[in-house]
Amino acid sequence: MIEVTGTIDKQDVGVGTWVIKATDGTVYELRQLPNDLKQKGLKAVVTGTVLEDAMSIAMVGPILSVTKAATL
Q: For the chain, give every domain's residue range.
A: 2-71
pTM: 0.92
More confident call, 49 vs 55: 49
pLDDT of 44: 98
pLDDT of 21: 98
pLDDT of 6: 99
Q: Which of the four CATH numbers 1.25.40, 2.60.40, 3.40.50, 2.40.50 does domain 2-71 have?
A: 2.40.50
CA 20 to chain centre: 4
The answer to whether 30 and 16 have CB atoms below 8 angstroms apart is: no
| CA separation for the pair 24, 43 (Å, rounded) | 14
pLDDT of 54: 82
Encode pLDDT of 6-47 as tens digits: 999 999 887 789 999 999 999 999 999 999 999 999 999 999
